[in-house]
Structure 1
Amino acid sequence: MTGELERPEGWGDLHQIRGLFDQGLRRLVSKDVRYTIRAGRGGLDETAALFTGEADIAVVTPAAALRLLYRFGDLKGLFALGVIPRRGSLVVAADATLGLDAVADLATHSARITVATCADDGVSLVGFAVHRALRMAGVGGGDVDFVYDEHPAARYASGAADVVIHDPMATPDWRAVVAERQVRYLPWGDRVLHGFAAQGWLPRIARAGQLPPLIDDLPALDCSDFAVLCRADLDEGLARLTARYLARGCCPAEAAAVARTPLPLHPGAARAYAELVADEAVADVSLGSR
């Protein structure tokens, strides 16, 4: 390995993140070290590519879904290089004129409701979470109609759906979406939040004012963070360099967040974060001695 990676000022969406990895690593990694970064949908297609050897590094979101699947035993053999922090919440936004008060009301409304969200297709982790949560809330596939889209907010804005379930933080034009129609955010309910929390998927509060036109804090499902994953056989030097890339330029609290991964750290990444902590401690001592 040669050189250090400069961490960009800001991270974009999934495809931009992969592009930054590719550009930075290929520029600085020794030519005899070969690797592939998967360019898929950021879900279980990415983990499958790791298992089959199609990819050496994958970026998957949200991290909470990986934590849950790891507890189920589905991801044994995979390791993490770090996370790219991005705060997000899985929320339910409904047409306010429907008069719905909670997610459970979707099953009992007098008119049939169309929900725009991601499909539970064995790839999308958002779709996996949405349909699992709906079942916990007592909403079955026969209670509502679904329209599936990787970016479902546009279906709501166009009038093709009455409800959208997604992460508004992953929708750059969310303000424009909700400006098209009156929106009411529906609580998932304790049964859903407690059920997910019991399996390690903790809730996240969408704060009042964070989402238009949210006027009260809304307990939602956590939909944060891009996790950077690999197999155990990833070159240790590459793992170390990638971890330093993720953490470089972070303050100590941010670096700790980068290393707070849903899967165990690859040994090379663990070494890199330990070195960063040691470097920080040495710097603190040096500054204190002046």
Structure 2
Amino acid sequence: MTGGLERSEGWADLHQIRDLFDQGLRRLLTKEVRYTIRAGHGGLDETSSLFTGEADIAVVTPAAALRLLYRFGDLKGLVALGVIPRRGSLVVAADAALPLDTVADLAAHADRITVATSADDGVSLVGFAVHRALRMAGVGAGAVDFVYDERPSACFASGAADVVIHDPMATPDWREVVTERPVRYLPWGDRVLHGFALQDWLPRLVRAGQLPFLMEDLPALDCSDLAVLCREDLDEGLARLTARYLARGCRPSETGAVARTPLPLHPGAARAYAELAAADVSLGSR
């Protein structure tokens, strides 16, 4: 990347992204344009801010959750401007001393298990996915105790939890966490992965070695990408400029990833990506 937003392989601070986004757009605008960008918890609080008019542009993650909610009809009236690519996976890690081999095993040891993760509170899309996946695995409500925290790995490291479910690729201290307290990575199981895939939430294979002490490939739930959303009535010129900014500094092969959005593109954004694709073809033919 030579410009625009940094495509981070690790933890991405949504507020930092919002600030970079805002600063970059204002540098590109040739006249004063009033708009508000929001990046709070990166969940349904952001989509709500669009519906209420509190914000014009919002950053939401993970993209797969938005794709599912869009199919449910919950996001009618919203469209996408692009995505900020970031690799991520929803992974289950347990204290290596526990007699657990799969996520389904949690139900058989409920009396001794506390799980650290995000809450299914109507805001967190990660929490929504976690609890949905646990139910599919046969770990129903009340089967285990939960501790909720924005950084659940810290709860695991401190001993407050025996199992942690989150995206370790978004946690800069994950290597230190698992060094201090060795883990066993638990597969979600075919029932969960297939159930999510039927709703267009595809699995993501975490390769051996991509996480500390991961000795074999681990099928996980995809937790990638930050989607940039807006309402359908966003000014077309601003939408076009936003899309061009999201793709700014991308190599030609990266532009397509920015435009692969979980919701349909705003017409202004679609126009911008089409222009960029045409320019790539034109330059390549010289």
Stretches of structure 2 lacking an aligned partner (at least 5 in a row): none
The answer to whether the Cα contact below 8 Å between 1:103 and 1:189 also exists between their aligned partners in 2 is: yes
Residues 1:172 and 2:169 are matched in the alignment: no
Query: Shift of the alpha carbon at 1:180?
Result: 1.3
2:68 corresponds to: 68
SS state of the match for residue 112, structure 2?
Answer: coil
Query: Does structure 1 conserve the Cα–Cα contact (< 8 Å) formed by 2:244 and 2:273?
Result: yes
Per-residue deviation, 1:169? 1.0
AA at the equivalent of 1:282? S
Which residue is equivalent to 1:108?
Answer: 108
Structure 1: runs of 5+ lacking an equivalent: none
Q: How does 1:253-268 map to 2 (within 5 A)?
A: 253-268=253-268
Question: CA separation in 2, counterparts of 1:39 and 1:208?
Answer: 33
Q: Secondary structure at the match of 1:212?
A: coil
- Structure 1 110/15 Cα, relative in aligned 2: closer, same or farther at 3 Å? closer
Counterpart contact for 1:114–1:146, Cα < 8 Å: yes
TM-score, length basis structure 2: 0.96
Identity %: 81
Alignment map for 1:223-262 (pairs within 5 Å): 223-262=223-262
Map of 1:136-175 to 2, 5 A cutoff?
Answer: 136-175=136-175
Displacement of 1:253 after TM fit?
Answer: 2.0
> What corresponds to 2:193 in structure 1?
193
- The equivalent residue for 1:19 is 19
Letter in 2 for 1:180: E
Q: For residue 217 of structure 2, what is the aligned residue in structure 1?
A: 217
**2 CA distance for matches of 1:226 and 1:142?**
31
Contact 1:112 1:143 in 2 (8 A): no
**Cα distance in 1, alignment partners of residues 231 and 55 from structure 2:** 9
- Whether the aligned pair in 1 keeps the contact of 2:4 and 2:24 (CA below 8 Å) is no
Give 1:28 shift.
2.7
Aligned to 1:38: 38
Give the RMSD, CA atoms, in angstroms: 1.3
Tell me the residue number matched to 1:7.
Answer: 4
Q: Which moved more, 1:96-105 or 1:108-117?
A: 108-117
Partner in structure 2 of residue 202 of structure 1: 202
Alpha-carbon offset, residue 109 of structure 1: 1.5
Q: TM (normalized to structure 1)?
A: 0.94
Count of residue correspondences: 282
The answer to whether the 8 Å contact 1:63/1:226 transfers is yes
In the TM superposition, what whole-angstrom CA distance separates every residue of 1:216-272 from its partner, at most 9, and x where no partner exists?
A: 000000000000000111111111111111112212221100000000000000000
CA drift of 1:10 comes to 4.5
